[in-house]
Amino acid sequence: MNARRLTLALVIATALLISMPVSAANDGLALTFQQGNQAYDLKNYEQALAHYQQLIRMGVVDGRLYYNMGNAHYRKGEIGQAILFYSRAQRLLPGDPDIKANLTLARASTRDKLPTDEPALPFLVLGWPFFNLSRDSLFAWALVVYLITAALILFRISSRSDVIRRRATQAAALLALIFIFVAANYSFRLRADVIRAEAVVLEPEVTVRSGPGESFAEIFKVHAGAEIKIHNIRENWFHVSLTNELAGWVPSTAVERILQDP
């Protein structure tokens, strides 16, 4: 599980996310990421994470960064944090085999052996050409194809040439089929994200209670790395369920959401 290197193109792209001159941002991001990778290679995982966290504070959101952080936490034995960052990486790079393999490895190290929510068969069948695209990228592709199709239809209506009108019709029909395919993939990806876990338990052991408070009865315990769905929030407590359908209330400080608030 060697740390990955950001390419120059990635550094340039992520530099747009922070409010400083572009050239200075590129240099700062590249240096910080390099320092994190060097610390990782030297097995100084705490220092590596400090550099990676600095990138996050600078506004970087990237699947490869999260993958590196998952690796560092895994090496430290922090299974909950490892699963959290692998899961974040997978949401952005859903087709990456290394992320999938390491997430599977981390899940196998958890104390609570819970089933995982896998996409339904239609998503696996229709979605395979787009496994490397995030949900946002699929939406962007669908929007672009839709706009081009609409432009072709308008061009066909305005054209007086029978040849041009026929070719525009054929092109628009082909693009319409592509749009339906991409939109279907987006819909299946959206559904897959909905049924997935929303948060990960980070504390070594958490008591799940029958209500939102320490005074309520203990139902069962969960441990670091357990993946949960959040159904309700009351003050500092989450009403959650596990993939084995057990449910109860846990302190909000014991878990962290996979998808962070913007």
Evaluate if pTM is beyond 0.85.
Answer: no
Report yes or no: 232 and 212 within 8 Å, Cβ to Cβ: no
List all residues 6 or more positions away from 30 whose beta carbon is below 8 Å from its beta carbon: 6, 8, 11
- pLDDT tens per residue, range 158-211: 878 878 888 888 888 888 888 887 777 777 666 655 545 689 999 999 999 999
Cα–Cα distance measured from residue 68 to residue 115, given in angstroms and rounded to the nearest whole number: 25
Burial class (CB in 10 A: 0-12, 13-18, 19+), 129: exposed
Report yes or no: 82 and 106 within 8 Å, Cβ to Cβ: yes
- pLDDT tens per residue, range 94-117: 878 899 999 999 999 999 887 766
